[in-house]
Homo-oligomer: A and B are copies of this chain.
Amino acid sequence: MKIAILGTGVVGQTLSEKLVALGHEIYMGTRNVEETHAKDKPDMFGRPPVSEWIHHIKQVNLVTFAEAAKNGYMIINATSGQGALEALTLAGKENIHGKVVMDISNPLDYSKGMPPTLSVCNTDSLGEQIQKAFPDVKVVKTLNTMSAYIMVNPALIPGDHNVFMSGNDAEAKAKVKELLKTFGWKEENITDIGDITTCKGTEMLLPIWVRLMGTFQSPMFNFKIVRQVT
Contact = CB atoms under 8 A, between A and B. Distances in A.
Given A216-B227, A218-B228, A222-B226, 13 more contacts: A118-B122, A121-B204, A156-B228, A158-B228, A192-B215, A200-B207, A201-B207, A201-B210, A201-B212, A218-B230, A220-B227, A223-B224, A224-B225
A179 B87 CA distance: 50
A202 interface: yes
Contacts of A225: 212, 221-224
Nearest to A121: B122
Contact of A212 (B193, B207, B216): B193
A33 interface: no
A44 interface: no
Contact of A117 (B123, B157, B158, B194): B123
A97 interface: no
A41 interface: no
Given A121-B121, A202-B208, A229 B158 contact: yes
A218 B230 CA distance: 11
A223 to B, nearest CB: 6
Interface residues of A, number: 43
Interface of A: 117-118, 121-123, 156-161, 164, 191-194, 198, 200-202, 204-205, 207-212, 214-216, 218, 220-230
Nearest to A229: B158
B227 A224 contact: no
A111 to B, nearest CB: 12
Nearest to A204: B204
B223 A223 contact: yes
A227 B215 CA distance: 12
Residue of A205, A221, A226 most packed against chain B (CB within 10 A) = A226
A209 B198 CA distance: 11
